[in-house]
Chain A
């Protein structure tokens, strides 16, 4: 039983500690950390106290000795929901990774997502953020793998589950869930016969990590153990396995900027 006492839970850790755990020892360096105080400007007016890092940590370092960037969302702050600032951090990190890859200095990029989806208090900005994130993932993975780690207590829901689906490698733990609509939303919309949201084993049977792995949605299933997850992440970069063909021509140029887009739509910018 002493093995249980030595095991290190990944899910127990906050976002910062998860990012630290995924990067090589001593290599963690946070970008726009809590002391920059880049917090949500919208929450206070709605009676919600903002968190200094908006529940999102971006850190650089190395993974397996190679340059790396890890993004981690904190499931404990407003359910890990993504608003304008957190979303910009994620999209920005992916954008920087793409530029580095284009310059020939690629950065191993990991998204450790633990989020209920878009933050309702910042709805439209969250949706915009998700589109930018999806855009950025598609652009980046044409140049290198993008690895998602879904191993927290919330899992990943909503728009961020779409982002996750675009990643080239998806590592899940059995305790995590991956779904679009939360079980209580499904129950409200479609009735209790469709989804009894109080039936926890059912929720995990449908959206839990093991099911997602068995369906082929996730590429690796890991125990809730820091060492196991680190190993899975390194393996994902060193021996990548694509999730089926991704034809670049199926997507318009992801670097399409707003002006060009508007011109194409016939709208004056």
Chain B
């Protein structure tokens, strides 16, 4: 089944525009990134590989510590490894700046 996970992190920096990267293919994920309304960073993850909430939190927390951007992120995931997720997040951020 599909697991839906939600996370929030403190944020301070702004981004210029929204961005979309990736694809929902095996071992991959799609990321939709938009400027946040309320000055926090919030993430919703939809994944078909269940039970890895702690890993998602670790990856996202690390990303936002390094990049405290106030964004709303949606991730549609099909088994991407933390390495792939981290790379897609960087790509999305780059496109949003």
Point out residues on A near B: beta carbons under 8 Å. 14, 33-35, 37, 44, 47-52, 74, 76-78
Contacts and interface: CB of A to CB of B under 8 A. Distances in A.
A81 to B, nearest CB: 12
Contacts of B58: none
A51 B32 contact: no
A74 B23 contact: yes
Interface in B22-75: 23-25, 28, 30, 32, 34, 46-48, 74
B1 A47 contact: yes
Interface residues of B, number: 18
Given A37-B32, A49-B24, A74-B23, 15 more contacts: A14-B23, A33-B20, A34-B20, A35-B18, A35-B32, A35-B34, A47-B1, A47-B2, A48-B2, A49-B46, A49-B48, A50-B76, A51-B30, A52-B20, A76-B25
Nearest to B29: A49
B47 A49 contact: yes
A46 to B, nearest CB: 9
B78 interface: yes
A49 B1 contact: no
The residue in A47, A74, A76 that gathers the most chain B C-beta atoms within 10 A of its C-beta is: A76
B77 A49 contact: yes
A231 B90 CA distance: 35
A243 to B, nearest CB: 33
A52 B34 CA distance: 14
A49 B23 contact: no
B76 A49 contact: yes
A37 B18 CA distance: 14
Nearest to B74: A52
A18 to B, nearest CB: 13
A76 B77 CA distance: 13
Nearest to A39: B76
A49 B20 contact: no
A43 to B, nearest CB: 9
A90 to B, nearest CB: 18
Nearest to B50: A47
Contacts of A48: 2, 48
A77 B23 contact: yes
Nearest to A34: B20
Nearest to A33: B20
A31 B28 CA distance: 25
B23 A52 contact: no
Nearest to A30: B20
A23 to B, nearest CB: 18
A78 B28 CA distance: 12
Contact of B23 (A37, A44, A51): A51
Contacts of B23: 14, 51, 74, 76-77
Contact of A77 (B24, B34, B47, B74): B24
A108 to B, nearest CB: 26
Contacts of A78: 24
B46 to A, nearest CB: 5
B26 to A, nearest CB: 9
